[in-house]
Structure 1
């Protein structure tokens, strides 16, 4: 079984970009080469701006390349939950804004002739017990005139209640972003991979972005990194970082259900879809979420997902397993706009698991912000807003959780014996000489020793035994076994530690 996203198996191997080696000056610097960053680059280049995209790893292979590839106008938390906090007009505007972004993706596929298996599909919502979740969703849909249909007798899943929304879509998100980036790369859109931004300085007339081998000078900077880099407390304290898992499987029957399926079983949501390319057919399932860095055993979450699939499908083999990250906003709406009033740093975060559409919407709003052009949805998603009444319960819960993680001590005192007894492929956090150390033993027996304190706010990292990473339970930063940042708000790598044995 491949440890990695199914989409990576169909990556365009001919697409690559150089690392930035020398100083440059542009109109807009974009941190992050996922759907938010590349779409922002597209829209800005079309308006005559000179743009640089700075991607720490590879274009499209971060959060975008670990998503489901589903496109829809409703939201992960469901419209009924949104309606419990806002009036019907807000719900209508959310759908309207997401529909605009949806259409932009469809338009890009057509205009740039991107081979990404784009396909219109219905979205099915259903539950196995009458918890009234779907009933409430139907009520809201009727209130706002959102067309839906009852499920037919031929529906392939056992259910107590359900509904169908037509004209949603699916695609391969990695091939989409690689195709869009390839169409943009040129004199006015410089794309760089393996270029990690270590610091951002906003001065009076320019913004300086520091990378290991260069400084980028820009008039505007966009944080298209799924969550803003640095100590932006106003965002990190109102966002809950979550990780969930995906598996791909081949079925013995070779009969794969067509559509986007959101099933609610025992108050757990599972997202199911099929994917075909050439002669290859797969069933994908995503679910079993937890707060980043707070799973007692990450593998148990993967097993839960695999058990769910095996209980409902005749599985021949599981082919891929991966994890994906999302940030849930306390008031259910993303933060898109200026980091602070009059700032030329722009942010886009809090997409929950709806990031393909919200990332595209963010690009539309941010491009207008750069141009000082009014956008009809900018007030709805204003990044500097604070809705205490809408966010109160979630805000308190998320902050209490972070505080608990900051002061929790899960380490143990270690000695030379601990260094020896860690098995290849395993890891542990120990305290030695008053320092918290993150230990990982490579398959060849080589020991990696890092500081166990996250470089964002010094919270203790925890080991992820599925993805072989050090995950921060406070604000979602993740690091690989060499200490380099994978994702999250941290700028810098975990410090390498030398010890005397």
Structure 2
């Protein structure tokens, strides 16, 4: 089955993992290399391969391993950053371009699905935004006015066919829903049929910026004219990391006792807000609820949002069975719009797509359309709208890099004495904590068998301290969103180096509450 970057399985992971068929050419020379095998990378690779480019996709894990396998898969022009905010931050022309780009993205997905005969449960739907008090109602009216200015028709003064109590709802058509992994895997198969190559379990370690570019992975070295980072956030260190903040969102799929599944997409206006939709998967329909978003690494107990989401869902619906609970990560851009284009500070042949906020399924296709044209003809109508260069690098950023880009200080090389560290002894199976040992912070997790996994507490990206994610059993960095397994393996960029593993000496390390 498909895997992803968390301990909890999403609804989509019932889909078998994608197995590549094509092998890399012996010369390992390509016209475009796409780093990242999620929906963004595969969509872009297929578009470029279809246009005649020789393309390679490099994926550090499995296709759909990141957010593509953890999304709730709303396809919408009703975006998380409302058009009222886009108009305030930019202007009405920009709002119209964004609305047009989102509409084109949904049409692009539908066209791909039809052209390549991809059975991904794609269904058109309306989207409903629901106000529950007077303040929200005023905000709803403001959003509706701005949405119409952006060129989209939004009806107001309605009552939504949904269980959430509200005083007014607005509706916008032209939205959709689908199975993200089935779609992405279908694109991957079409990409390979056109001669494209996908290499799994290949992490990019270094890019030598010469002509042609040299891309070094944990297995091979490749050459390419153009490189695209479709990795959710670009790896290494770049000023975009300071203009994109990592967030986590929670989701749940369940069956209903009354089989009354809503057909459309629904959003309340709470902060953080909740969102809902249904999806049929292999003959069974599920209701999917999401919400309780928070910045990565700041929630002390990530089990709390899961419990709150389940309680919220059970209050609204006759839940029969909870089928899946999971969380996922996204990156909020500083001004509300994604960064799609040339990666600042890296010449004319390295591109990036990041900062999609909660609209990754829509913006992934926007990115594919924009990047394809930038590489083929060096232009696109929305180039300036999503240009990463629209925000100038902050003053002193070069000094910041010089101070932080070095390899983190190595921690103790000797064995940690398991029976001499009180905090470690006190850990119960399934618990984790930050332990101070002779002045060094050590991140420790004791698994259900009692085995201790100890790693450096210092994120290898820019030296922030990682925090424990009890829901996904991972160490998460609150600064720029890097995530690591209990053994320190990189799960999410921008880090490209694992946390240092620290050996623990054999010895009694059980909790005082355990029987011996």
Q: Does 1:323 align with 2:327?
A: yes
Give, in whole Å, the separation in 2 of the partners of 1:86 and 1:95: 14
- Secondary structure of the corresponding residue to residue 255 of structure 1: coil
- Secondary structure of the corresponding residue to residue 133 of structure 1: helix
Moved more, 465-474 or 343-352: 343-352
Select 1:177's aligned residue among 160, 165, 184.
184
Judged with a 3 Å threshold, the aligned counterparts in structure 2 of structure 1 residues 450 and 18 are, in CA distance, closer, same or farther, namely farther
Look up the match of 2:450: 445
Judged with a 3 Å threshold, the aligned counterparts in structure 2 of structure 1 residues 431 and 20 are, in CA distance, closer, same or farther, namely farther
Select 1:102's aligned residue among 103, 106, 111.
106
Look up the match of 2:66: 62
1:20–1:193 contact (8 Å) kept in structure 2: no
1:18–1:194 contact (8 Å) kept in structure 2: no
Judged with a 3 Å threshold, the aligned counterparts in structure 2 of structure 1 residues 430 and 115 are, in CA distance, closer, same or farther, namely same
Select 2:201's aligned residue among 186, 194, 197.
194
Give, in whole Å, the separation in 2 of the partners of 1:361 and 1:194: 26
- Secondary structure of the corresponding residue to residue 180 of structure 1: helix
Residue 151 of structure 1 deviates from its aligned partner by: 5.8
Look up the match of 1:279: 283
- Secondary structure of the corresponding residue to residue 371 of structure 1: helix
- Secondary structure of the corresponding residue to residue 126 of structure 2: strand
Residue 421 of structure 1 deviates from its aligned partner by: 2.8
Judged with a 3 Å threshold, the aligned counterparts in structure 2 of structure 1 residues 39 and 279 are, in CA distance, closer, same or farther, namely closer
2:83–2:150 contact (8 Å) kept in structure 1: no
State the 4+ residue runs in structure 1 displaced beyond 4 angstroms: 16-23, 151-154
Q: Does 1:115 align with 2:122?
A: no
> 5+ residue gaps in structure 2?
1-6, 395-399, 405-416, 507-516
Look up the match of 2:257: 252
1:55–1:196 contact (8 Å) kept in structure 2: yes
- Secondary structure of the corresponding residue to residue 466 of structure 1: coil
2:120–2:178 contact (8 Å) kept in structure 1: yes
Q: Does 1:36 align with 2:40?
A: yes
Give, in whole Å, the separation in 2 of the partners of 1:256 and 1:186: 37
Correspondence 1:282-431 to 2 at 5 A: 282-340=286-344, 342-386=347-391, 415-431=420-436
CA displacement 1:460-493 (0-9 Å, x = unmatched): 1100000000000100001111211111200111
Aligned length: 476
Give, in whole Å, the separation in 2 of the partners of 1:365 and 1:153: 37
- Secondary structure of the corresponding residue to residue 499 of structure 2: coil
Q: Does 1:230 align with 2:236?
A: yes
CA displacement 1:420-443 (0-9 Å, x = unmatched): 332222211112133221111222
Pairwise CA RMSD of aligned residues? 2.5
Give, in whole Å, the separation in 2 of the partners of 1:302 and 1:254: 23
Moved more, 464-473 or 280-289: 280-289
> 5+ residue gaps in structure 1?
392-398, 404-412
Give, in whole Å, the separation in 2 of the partners of 1:150 and 1:386: 35
User: TM-score under structure 1 normalisation?
Assistant: 0.90
Look up the match of 1:262: 267
Moved more, 60-69 or 174-183: 60-69
2:99–2:152 contact (8 Å) kept in structure 1: no
Give, in whole Å, the separation in 2 of the partners of 1:32 and 1:458: 24
- Secondary structure of the corresponding residue to residue 282 of structure 1: strand
Give, in whole Å, the separation in 2 of the partners of 1:108 and 1:334: 23
Look up the match of 1:458: 463
CA displacement 1:150-202 (0-9 Å, x = unmatched): 36556223211211111211000111001110111157311011212222221
- Secondary structure of the corresponding residue to residue 388 of structure 2: coil
Residue 3 of structure 1 deviates from its aligned partner by: 2.3
Give, in whole Å, the separation in 1 of the partners of 2:504 and 2:282: 52
1:17–1:192 contact (8 Å) kept in structure 2: no
Judged with a 3 Å threshold, the aligned counterparts in structure 2 of structure 1 residues 448 and 23 are, in CA distance, closer, same or farther, namely farther
Look up the match of 2:414: none
Give, in whole Å, the separation in 1 of the partners of 2:310 and 2:364: 29
Select 2:494's aligned residue among 486, 489, 497.
489
Residue 446 of structure 1 deviates from its aligned partner by: 1.8
Look up the match of 1:394: none
User: TM-score under structure 2 normalisation?
Assistant: 0.87
